[in-house]
Chain A
Amino acid sequence: MSSEASWRPAATCEVLRLRAAMLAAARRFFLKRGVMEVDTPVLSAATASDVHIASLQTNISLDGPKPVYLQPSPESAMKRLLAAGSGPIFQFARAFRDAEAGPMHNPEFLLLEWYRPGFDLGALINEVAALVAVLMKPKIPVEQLSYREAFISYAGIDPYTASIEAIAELCRRSGFRGALDDRSAGLDILLTRLVQPALSPGCVFLYHFPADQAALAKVRPGNPPLAERFELFLDGIEIANGYQELIDAREQRIRIEADLARRRERGLPVVPADIRLLQALEHGLPECAGVALGFDRLVGLKAGVEDIRRVMAFPVDRA
């Protein structure tokens, strides 16, 4: 970063005022819609099992040292509230992901996450678009595009039928060097290299991801099976990720175990399985849709700042 004194905030006071105004506007948006604000702990005994998320860990002294994780998202805690009957909830959550730093990443960042019992993916997409219109500009263009259509249009391949060799060759031609861990790693490269830069300006909702990229979304059986998941790109920048939430405790357990097996295989830290989340799902999570939105990126787009560290008071190199 620049040579200016590092005690100073990275964001100007003007940007901080804009950030505060957007926070207030988002809170009003949910208040009007009867969505309750919650705040769940940053420190928790379990964390995400996803192999692509590296959690930060520390210890607290309670009858001896007890390992705890800084939450990479409030998803697990919020689902436990939903299972306990909270109804619709939202949260501005501090989230932590190790080793993520760059113009679009800071290891500590602000997620706006919310859950809507009774909503399907389409209803949630409409609500996300409404919020973005309130926060960004009233008549922002909105497009919905399936993952498959986007790949066919912008990468020239069908993500479900293309052979792994064809995907690898296209990755290579797009400048990738290295070995692909799996098919979805190849599709991720093509998404960031070919699809994202080609997306229309405004809101583009990409939906129906491949089943192996379902994460915590429901998978709709079929050929191919499709993850009931969407991502919002705003002016080509990934802003939000939403699911028709997986509510089946058995399936959830299978996915966590599979993640943990892959962690062992790849020599990654094996995190404890999130038992309390599984118990909540066994008790019963209502049918719901949920979404997490990177609030710093949204502020960056609104402020016209290309590095999200300049919309944070103190990004990691000044914290």
Chain B
Amino acid sequence: MASFSTSEFKSGLKVLVDHDPCSIIENEFVKPGKGQAFNRVKFRNLKTGRVMERTFKSGDSLEAADVLEVPLQYLYHDGEHYHFMNEQTFEQYVADDKSVGDARNWLKEQDVCTITLWNGQPLMVTPPNFVNLTVTQTDPGVRGDTASGASKPATMETGAVIKVPLFIDEGEVLKIDTRTGEYVSRVKE
């Protein structure tokens, strides 16, 4: 496996730190006037999402992390695992609850998600920025009220509960921003 020396560290580089795949955020050169040169490096741990700081001697190397981001189609949930497929090669991938995380709220069959693979295994699932989902349950709509700004909860086909305007009815398809979990608009069929 390739490795990178501290002088090659730059933002976005994927390396192994304490055996975990990490993405470099920041790399700072530190040196006492009469001493050893170091690099103080900030990382995001791609497994936990946590940001951490480590110090290395300048010139030391870290192993590259075999991390790859690929678009994969979501197929189905078998009750335990989530199944994805590469539309070009038809190769299938199985992701567990941990790597899917909050993305589970927005996974709709046949949607294409970005999957971060580490050594070929799904590490993180990022849903599309916008998804169209059907409302499966909400209180009856209030006609004419399109401007008051009041909202009510609605359950979507994926099980996610979001806030929607009062005029929304069951069976309607809504556009949702997955980064904020917010209602964007109705989708005309």
Contact = CB atoms under 8 A, between A and B. Distances in A.
B35 A102 contact: no
Interface stretch (A63-71, A180-188, A270-278): A180-188
Contacts of A108: none
A231 B28 CA distance: 22
Residues of B in contact with A, size category: 20 to 34
Nearest to A105: B29
B37 interface: yes
Interface in B20-74: 28-38, 52-58, 60
B37 A177 contact: no
B117 interface: no
A57 interface: no
Contacts of B7: 99
B85 interface: no
A177 B35 contact: no
Interface in A36-95: 50, 52
Contacts of B18: 177
Contact of A178 (B30, B53, B57): B57
B29 A175 contact: no
B17 A177 contact: yes
Given A177-B17, A185-B36, A100 B31 contact: yes
Contacts of A238: 32-33
A176 B54 contact: yes
Contact of A191 (B17, B28, B32): B32
A101 interface: yes
B29 A52 contact: no
A205 B138 CA distance: 69
Nearest to B59: A99
B54 A175 contact: yes
Nearest to A229: B34
B5 to A, nearest CB: 11
A144 interface: no
Nearest to A103: B28
A252 interface: no
A289 B108 CA distance: 74
Contacts of A292: 33
Given A100-B31, A102-B29, A177-B17, A52 B55 contact: no
Interface in B129-174: none
B90 to A, nearest CB: 41
Contact of A185 (B17, B28, B54, B57): B57
Given A99-B7, A175-B54, A105 B60 contact: no
Contacts of B38: 188-189, 192
Nearest to A227: B34
Q: Which one of A177, A193, A241 has the greatest number of beta carbons of chain B within 10 Å? A: A177
Contacts of A105: 29, 31
Contacts of B60: 178
A22 interface: no
A178 B56 contact: yes
Contacts of A189: 36, 38, 55
A6 interface: no
Interface in A247-292: 292
A163 interface: no
Contacts of A215: 34
Q: Which one of B32, B34, B55 has the greatest number of beta carbons of chain A within 10 Å? A: B34
A175 B35 contact: no
A126 interface: no
Interface string A181-214: 1001100110111000000000000000000010
A175 B57 CA distance: 12
A12 interface: no
Given A175-B54, A176-B55, A189-B55, A52 B28 contact: no
17 contacts: A52-B34, A52-B35, A52-B37, A99-B7, A100-B29, A104-B31, A175-B52, A178-B57, A185-B35, A185-B36, A188-B35, A188-B38, A189-B36, A189-B38, A191-B35, A192-B32, A241-B33
Interface of A: 50, 52, 99-105, 171, 174-179, 181, 184-185, 188-189, 191-193, 213, 215, 231, 238, 241, 292, 294
Closest 6 CB pairs of A and B: A102-B29, A188-B35, A185-B36, A176-B55, A175-B54, A241-B33
Interface of B: 7, 17-18, 28-38, 52-58, 60
Given A104-B31, A176-B55, A188-B35, 17 more contacts: A52-B34, A52-B35, A52-B36, A52-B37, A100-B37, A103-B28, A104-B29, A104-B30, A171-B55, A175-B54, A178-B56, A179-B57, A188-B32, A188-B36, A189-B55, A192-B38, A215-B34
